[in-house]
Structure 1
Amino acid sequence: MPGRAFITQPIPEPGPTLVRQAVDDLRSNSEDRVLSRAELGEAVAGCDAVLCLLTDTVDASVLEAAKGCRIFANMAVGFNNVDVAAASRLGILVTNTPGVLTEATADLTWALILGVARRVAEGDSEMRAGRFPGWGPLYMLGGDVTGKTLGLIGPGRIAVAVARRALGFAMPLLYHGRRPSPELDALGARRVPLNELLAESDFVSLHVPLSGETRHLIDAKALGQMKSSAYLINTARGPVVDEAALVSALKSGRIAGAGLDVYEDEPRMAEGLADCPNALLLPHLGSATHATRAAMSRIAGENLVAALEGRRPPNLVNPEVWS
């Protein structure tokens, strides 16, 4: 099918092949880095379709540069990196890749829960540095997981998957969200106000999208409502947490620890966070499995090809453009 497409960064197969087979001219950024806004604007000019990533800033200026483009297919569940309103105004379809990373992110959430409570990264560092003095009754004591209360903020697919795993650890479940979750209710979870969840949970796990309402949802006040023995886990979006307030809470012992996979100003961290031994810090690995990234690539490619072929993309986030 005639047309030009652009892929903003190297991605795994099969997305590139799907796109290549659908266009006459496929261009891509061959460097494993995020393009600047100016570079991105120049690259998308004259394109019929663009496959982009969550790290790309697709603002109104980039979309204006791509005027006439049919679709920006975002290879991510979230799409807060795209100015969807501007895209709709310009008649550009925007899609995402929902559902595909649920299990991988739930697994990683549990890696953070267990890792921060049982001080796994600290223990690994001790061994590698040759500092292990031998077993001792007071050496590197951590927190218990089994039987402790897990609080889930944002009762979506990932929260449900995390809750299913928690049953094996006999954890009482609390959740907070705008609406009841039949799936979480069926697992025995109890829906409570946010302040009650923060006060009663031993582990607080975040699973909300980023919006004006959820930005800094976990601030100094929220951290102050948590138990001093509690842990904060974030595999959602970095700006949901006021990172400076979190550093203060970790250093003062206001909470026991935090397990983070996302950050407020990625790839940078708030000053002092790296110095907190009670923080387990991962570099945004939630969907980083071979199978999950391949599935994301496939879905993004299928969305893009559908738009080029005049079919409604399966994962359209601005349906008003189609109608």
Structure 2
Amino acid sequence: MNIALLEPLGIPGKTIDELAAPLKAAGHEFVYFDTKTTDADELTRRSAGAEIVMIANNPYPAEVIEASDALKMIAVAFTGIDHVALDACRARGIEVRNCAGYSDISVAELALGLTIDVLRKVVAADGAVRKGETSAGLMGTEIFGKTVGIIGCGKIGCATGRLFRALGARVLGYSRHEHPEAAAAGIEQVPLDTLLNQADIVSLHLPSNESTRKSFSAGQISQMKDGAILINCARGAIVDNDALADALNAGKLAGAGIDVFDMEPPIPADYPLVNAANCVFTPHVAFLTRESMERRAIIEFENVLAYTEGRSQNICQL
């Protein structure tokens, strides 16, 4: 089969060669493009003749899929697949496989890190030191003894809950479906209203799909405790970020730690959330660690090899 890796995976080229070796040994053609592109014409050129394309988190639009006559499977080096034109895949019967699990630890650790940044005013304190100021106005808040609400108790949500429990927090969880692993992680599963009413810290861990887009809106924010904080290391589209900005500016919420937005960074300077009070931001880096980049590359190549051998592995429901 003809296989094309359309963009870098954040690991050395030597490692790419090592991971591709079993595919080549099995007689498959493999080509690797070591630069990123979001240009549809260039993506079409790179995809030409490929039966399998391998991508990371850059968009793979419908026009490219429709122009790629040989395409049978898209291997995504990411957990979420909402950057792939799934309607076009369904129409063509193209299979999509993802790398679920590669970034569980990295996302959980950043969710905790953003929480600490917000509660202990780390960014503001850094600025104070650099400007020759004192600790005035930098009184912090502890995680110990607080109630944390995890919305989305999948693997990442459970990993996040474990970290908060290790710091002495009570952890509540909400998911549409029962997750036995949540109980094993010490997460008490409760209705969403209960979680929002009781949690001092709410951390979102939902996928982006038709049922979750803008699902965390003004109504859910209004149910949160006064003075609570919101952490979003999941997907920007699940939150009404204008409503979140309003709640922050009105003092309803004490702060927010945000890694994901309605669009990929760079974020416009006039974006309301960027100008809201008491926020700490990161530019969609929750997944981005050396360890996770290596894990996702291994999983993606394993997915491709499994496909060529007719084995089911990490197949996404479209």
The two structures have a TM-score, normalised by structure 2, of 0.89
Cα distance in 2, alignment partners of residues 144 and 75 from structure 1: 36
72, 80, 83: which is aligned to 1:81? Answer: 83
1:57-136 mapped onto 2 (5 Å cutoff): 57-59=60-62, 61-128=63-130, 130-133=131-134, 135=135
Shift of 1:188: 4.0
* SS of residue in 1 equivalent to 2:117: helix
Contact 2:5 2:54 in 1 (8 A): yes
Matched AA of 1:312: R
Contact 1:116 1:279 in 2 (8 A): yes
Structure 2 portions without partners, runs of 5+: none
After TM superposition, give the deviation of residue 77 of structure 1 in Å. Answer: 0.9
Q: Helix, strand or coil for the counterpart of 2:207? A: coil
Displacement of 1:64 in angstroms is: 1.5
1:152 deviation in Å?
0.6
The corresponding residue for 2:294 is 294
Relative contact order (C-alpha < 8 Å, sep 6+): which is higher? 1
- Contact 2:55–2:74, Cα closer than 8 Å, also in 1: yes
Which one of the candidate residues 52, 55, 59 is aligned to 1:56?
59
Q: Which residue of 1 aligns with 2:315?
A: 316
State, as a whole percentage, how many aligned pairs show the same letter.
Answer: 30
Alpha-carbon shift at residue 148 of structure 1 (Å): 0.5
Residue equivalent to 1:19? 20
Deviation track 1:219-251 (CA, whole Å, cap 9, x = no partner) reads 112111112210000111111111111111111
Q: SS in structure 2 opposite 1:215?
A: coil
Q: Which is further off, 268-277 or 43-52?
A: 268-277
Of the structure 1 ranges 152-161 and 8-17, higher mean CA displacement relative to structure 2 is found in 8-17
For residues 78-104 of structure 1, what are the alpha-carbon distances to aligned partners after superposition, in whole Å with 9 as ceiling and x for unaligned?
112223353244242211001121111
Gap runs ≥5 in structure 1? none
CA distance in 2, matches of 1:231, 1:25: 47
Map 1:5-44; keep pairs closer than 5 Å.
5-11=3-9, 12-13=11-12, 14-15=15-16, 17-19=18-20, 22=24, 23-24=28-29, 26-28=31-33, 30-31=34-35, 33-44=36-47
SS in 2 for 1:173: strand
| 2:48–2:68 contact (8 Å) kept in structure 1 | yes
Shift, 1:127, TM fit: 1.6
Which stretch of the first structure deviates more once superposed, 285-294 or 269-278?
A: 269-278
SS of aligned partner of 1:106: helix
- For 2:4 and 2:127, locate their aligned partners in 1 and report how far apart those are by CA, in whole Å: 42
Q: Which letter maps to 1:181?
A: H
For residue 48 of structure 1, what is the amino acid of its counterpart? E
The AA in structure 2 aligned to 1:74 is V
Which residue pairs with 1:249 in the alignment?
Answer: 247
SS in 1 for 2:172: strand
1:54-95 Cα offsets, whole Å, 9 max, x none, are 222332x22111122232110001112223353244242211
Specify the code of the residue in structure 2 equivalent to 1:63. I
Q: Report the TM-score when normalising by structure 1.
A: 0.88
**Separation in 1 of the partners of 2:142 and 2:157?**
21
Answer yes or no: is the 8 Å Cα contact 1:15–1:300 preserved in 2.
no
The 1:224/1:148 distance shift into structure 2, 3 A limit, reads same
Distance in 2 of aligned mates of 1:242 and 1:9: 31
Paired letter, 1:131: G
Letter of the 1:55 counterpart = N
1:153-212 superposed Cα distances (whole Å, 9 cap, x missing partner): 011011111111122222122111112222222344332222221121100000111111
1:206-225 aligned within 5 A: 206-225=204-223
Which deviates the most, 84-93 or 213-222? 84-93
Distance in 1 of aligned mates of 2:92 and 2:78: 22
Count of residues in Structure 1 that have an aligned counterpart in Structure 2: 309
Give the Cα–Cα distance (whole angstroms) in 2 for the partners of residues 110 and 271 of structure 1. Answer: 25
1:158 is paired with a residue of what secondary structure?
helix
In the TM superposition, 1:268-283 aligns within 5 A as 268=267, 271-283=271-283
Preserved contact between residue 204 and residue 230 of structure 1 (Cα < 8 Å): yes
2:123 aligns to what SS in structure 1? helix
Q: Distance in 1 between matches of 2:176 and 2:195?
A: 14
Partner-residue secondary structure (3-state), 1:47: coil
